[in-house]
Structure 1
Amino acid sequence: MDLGQFIIQNFHEFLTYTAFANATVGNLIMIAVGAFFIWLAIKKDFEPLLLVPIGLGIILGNIPFRADAGLEIGLYEDNSVLNIFYQGVRQGWYPPLIFLGIGAMTDFTALLANPKLMLIGAAAQFGIFGAYMVALAMGFEPSQAAGIAIIGGADGPTAIFLSSKLSPNLMGAIAVCAYSYMALVPVIQPFIMRLLTTDKERVIKMKPGREVSQTERILFPIIGLLLTTFIVPSGLPLLGMLFFGNLLKESGKTTRLAKTAGAALNDIVVMLLGLTVGCSTQASEFLTFNTIKIFALGAMAFMIATASGVCFVKLMNLFLPEGKKLNPLIGNAGVSAVPMAARISNNLGLEYDRHNFLLMHAMGPNVAGVIGSAVAAGALLGFLS
């Protein structure tokens, strides 16, 4: 073989390794989806800290290559860098670390000042169990139905944690669905809130909560940990890290650790989680009819959760005296999207009365929703394991 033939043969071989030679229509569709996520994050400011890593991950995971090449570069190839990063998702390391950061950043004062707001966070979890029953009716296995239903909690890390344990084959679709609906909270919730409330209810003014002592703030993560984990020990990885992070914040003696957990560590984990979750949505695994059903069930779960929270506040008002009634607009904050859902409560309240600030009141059920979704996940995990 002369030099010219050798060069031509090797060039043809090289072409078989390129993405151009291995691309499918599905790959191109998913790359467009990833670009759309990045556009939503940058142009529309929809949760950029989540959607930028996920969007680029979707693009990265759908750059095609020869499966038989043995290059060890794909997410599902042993010993590849992406596969090593992905173990944090598959083995459930990332979600507890994110809960550590959430605990270190969360102020439970609003909930402690008005403990009955915890009930709103619990009521919003109806979306999870309602979607679970519908998923069973649609033919999903119980473990798969649980992984899908947890989307209704609007908590991406919880959805990833539970699906990694119960339905790993659907984890990519569940994770992307959960984070997508978290980003779309400002689009989905206001319509439901307006639909279920009257003009009179929207202008209810709530009295400021009582002052909460430092001792109460320190005791809360300890007592909260004992109460929740004694009920659902299977929720220990999430609840334990959540309350640990909050204790670091409230103790007053570990400020440096709390800042690290809530800032640098949390940012690193969110980046790796978002990127690897995006990479897991390869076209061959993601573009299926089941994915469409998951997105439909996720939307339904999220809407039920929002409606349950609002309606439960209206129910509570039937038993509360005048002057102590709650504004139903804070009911949407029972989902776990902190603090985005609480901001929506506040913004909608200001539309109807520019002097009615609901943010601090809405933070009560909002942080309760974080605990509630973790408890619900623990209950499903314990029941179905």
Structure 2
Amino acid sequence: MDFWNAFASLFSNFGNLTWQMVVMWGIGALLIYLAIAKKMEPSLLLPMGFGAILVNLPLSGAITQGDTVGPISALFEAGMSNELFPLLLFIGIGAMIDFGPLLEKPWLMLFGAAAQFGIFFTLFLAGFFFDLKDAASIAVIGAADGPTAIFVANVLHSQYLGAIMVAAYSYMALVPIVQPPVIKLLTTQKERRIRMPYQKGSVSQLTKILFPIVVTIIAGLVAPASVALVGFLMFGNLLRECGVLNTLSETAQNILANLITIVLGLTVAGQMTADKFVRPDTLLILALGLVAFVFDTAGGVLFAKLANLFLPEGKKLNPMIGAAGISAFPMSGRVVNKLGLEEDNQNFLLMYSISVNVSGQIASVIAGGLLLTLLS
């Protein structure tokens, strides 16, 4: 009898399984499929997908159950609730970015600023459904910048942190799917075929060293709450450009960034439990995040089209580069370049699109900081 009771107890946990958990398994499986089969940001989607399955097993030991602390919950408390992991990732991102092409053509920063339109539009829209701090946290999803979205949501104590984290990182990974239809809808084939020959300029080493320092100071004066975000990003870039810390720069770009990305993916998945995720308000947040993302893309494209009204023939801009002004670096820049080559196999937009993409990284961080300064 004891044997049969023991045998039956092995299957007792099946009674704790809910249909919501099974739905989350499906979402996790989809993320894994996109990561492996479609190669869509696998470093993000694979840990998120597997983690979503891990935390949605009944009585999962990966997350805290009663008095037993789960490792993923412990990671969240150690590095997400205090914004540590996103900030450390920003050091790695900063070390990856070459601001040289942007410094050669600083006017491209205007497109990065224009592509933040979706954040403020969605802030207004989300205000009808959520309180102001939650609305601001949701709006930052539009930048498609996970670390910034997490940082803002944490500082504003948003109760929807899990959904915001998942949406921000998901849209980062879905840039190749979401952006092309928006770009094509807003541009004509003739506009997409506009060539922009790139003439390389020169930027001194001193300028590259001073740039991250000056940007940090200016951002700190304009939006003090953005100092941590901007400062860690610019510190990573200073490691790259100073010329005397190549080993540290390479470590930040590779080992640090990869390690934090894995931990971030699993930790984000820790917030994807069925009870938090399969809810109407979570679906609304995902929808509003998509709206913000689409309008960010549209803002950059339409700004370029507006600029073309005042530019002479032969100096017109390819409006697709404006779409690269979102913060998803370097995915968005690559998408724009790919679209240009599809229309004209001699139309290389990579240097322009990456430069705009870099400016969007800075602009989104500052936009997030402005929201924090206004609402904190």
Using structure 2 for the length normalisation, give the TM-score: 0.95
8 Å contact from structure 2 (residues 28, 48) kept in 1: yes
Q: Structure 2 CA distance, aligned partners of 1:124 and 1:114?
A: 17
Q: 1:161 aligns with which of 151, 157, 170?
A: 151
C-alpha distance in structure 2 between counterparts of 1:186 and 1:319, whole Å: 31
Alignment of 1:242-321 (within 5 A): 242-321=233-312
* Deviation, structure 1 residue 27: 0.7
Query: In the alignment, is the contact (CA less than 8 A) between 1:51 and 1:274 conserved in 2?
Result: yes
Which residue number corresponds to residue 39 of structure 2? 45
Q: Gapped runs of 5+ residues in structure 1?
A: 67-71
The aligned counterpart of 2:164 is 174
**Correspondent of 2:54 among 41, 49, 60:** 60
Which ranges of structure 2 fall in alignment gaps of 5 or more residues?
A: none
Q: 1:76 to 1:218 in 2, by over 3 A?
A: farther
8 Å Cα contact 1:75/1:279 also seen in 2? no
* Cα distance in structure 2, aligned partners of 1:142 and 1:340: 30
- 1:183 Cα offset (Å): 1.5
Residue in structure 1 matched with residue 25 of structure 2 by the alignment: 31
Secondary structure of the corresponding residue to residue 134 of structure 1: helix
Q: Is the CA contact 2:59–2:65 (under 8 Å) kept in the aligned structure 1?
A: no
**Could you say which residue in structure 2 is the equivalent of 1:80?**
70
Equivalences for 1:115-264 in 2 at 5 Å?
A: 115-137=106-128, 139-207=129-197, 208-264=199-255
CA drift at 1:21: 2.5
**Does 2:364 match 1:373?**
yes
Which residue is equivalent to 1:69? none
Where in structure 2 are the equivalents of 1:342-361 lying within 5 Å? 342-361=333-352
Residue type of the alignment partner of 1:74: I
- 1:160-182 deviation line (CA, Å, top 9, x unaligned): 11112224421111111112212
Q: Look up the equivalent residue of 1:86 and give its one-letter code.
A: F
Give the superposition deviation at 1:302: 0.6
SS of 1:253 mapped into structure 2: coil
CA contact (8 A) 2:31 2:45 kept: yes
2:100 aligned partner: 109
Q: CA deviation at 1:129?
A: 0.6
* Alignment partner, residue 318 of structure 2: 327
Determine helix, strand or coil for the equivalent of 1:219.
Answer: helix
The answer (yes or no) to whether the contact 2:133–2:158 under 8 Å persists in 1 is: no
Identity %: 48
SS in 2 for 1:169: coil
Q: For 2:331 and 2:63, locate their aligned partners in 1 and report how far apart those are by CA, in whole Å.
A: 34
Deviations 1:33-71 (A, max 9, x none): 1011100110111111100000011011101118xxxxx
Deviation string 1:267-320 (CA, Å, 9 cap, x unpaired) is: 111101100111211101111000110111011111100010000011122233
Q: Distance in 2 between matches of 1:358 and 1:77?
A: 54
- Following superposition, the deviation at residue 323 of structure 1 comes to 3.8
Segment drifting more, 211-220 vs 297-306: 211-220
Structure label with greater radius of gyration: 1
Task: Work out the CA distance in 2 between the residues paired with 1:40 and 1:300.
Answer: 22
1:223 Cα deviation (Å)?
A: 1.1
Cα drift, residue 110 of structure 1: 1.6
Partner deviation per Cα, 1:355-376 (whole Å, 9 max, x = no partner) = 1100001111100111111111
Q: Does the 8 A contact of 1:160 with 1:174 survive in 2? A: yes
User: Matches of 2:26 and 2:74 in 1, distance apart?
Assistant: 26
Q: In 1, distance between residues paired with 2:64 and 2:113?
A: 37
Larger deviation, residues 343-352 vs 328-337: 343-352
Shift of residue 151 of structure 1? 0.7
Provide the aligned length of Structure 1 versus Structure 2: 373
Q: How much does 1:330 deviate? A: 0.4
1:92 deviates by 0.9
Aligned AA (2:95): A
Tell me, in whole angstroms, the C-alpha distance in 2 between the residues paired with 1:305 and 1:237. Answer: 24
SS at match of 1:90: coil
| CA positional deviation for 1:105 | 0.5
Partners of 2:181 and 2:331 lie apart in 1 by: 16
Cα distance, 1:12 vs. partner? 5.1
C-alpha contact (below 8 Å) 1:117/1:364 kept by paired residues: yes
Preserved contact between residue 54 and residue 62 of structure 2 (Cα < 8 Å) = no
- Whole-angstrom CA distance in 1 between matches of 2:87 and 2:273: 25
Deviation of 1:204 (Å)? 2.1
